[in-house]
Amino acid sequence: MVNGGNSDRLMSDINVTPFVDVMLVLLVIFMVTAPMMMQGVDVALPETTSQPLISKKEHLIITINNKNQVFINDFQVALDFLQEKLKKILEGREDRGVYLRADKEIPYGFVVQVMSEIKEAGIEKLGMVTEPIRQKEKGKKPKAKS
């Protein structure tokens, strides 16, 4: 008998369909969870009566949390290397402005030290980030002590 084909041969093609399915599922998972993971650094900002500024550009934000840790955007940096890192980041930028967010419990001397490092890095504009005073607290009168 003559056999029409050899059915004992191995299949040499790789089936990529399961691989593509897994990659698509992972892509969807990362797309859904990525916005939830971006929170920034938590600080208790001081409250002021100034109105918020509306900005169309993304600015560089230096944050000091309540543990005296310094962050450039969301990345922690040692104070000794802050000036060096800022110089590298701002090398090719036209806008040389930075915003400083500091926890209200941080000692004033440490905030001034960070501001000095920022200015020595060549920053031309330094803005301070604060929280607006809440309406409930605005209407309260101070209690008289007896």
Q: 64-96, pLDDT tens digit by residue?
A: 988 889 998 888 999 899 889 988 888 877 777
pLDDT over 90 (residue 35)? no
Task: Give the per-residue pLDDT at 143.
Answer: 47
CB atoms within 10 A of CB 43: 19
Mean pLDDT to the nearest integer, 94-107 = 84
pLDDT, mean over the chain: 77
pLDDT over 90 (residue 24)? yes
The DSSP element (H or E) to which 35 belongs, if any, is: helix 17-37
**Residue-range domains of the chain with CATH:** 47-132 (3.30.420.270)
Q: Please, which contacts does 47-52 make with residues 24 or more away whose CB atoms are closer than 8 Å? A: 47/130, 47/131, 47/132, 47/133, 47/134, 47/137, 48/130, 48/131, 48/132, 48/133, 49/132, 49/133, 50/130, 50/132, 51/132, 52/132
Task: Give the per-residue pLDDT at 21.
Answer: 92
Task: Give the per-residue pLDDT at 89.
Answer: 85
pLDDT over 80 (residue 145)? no
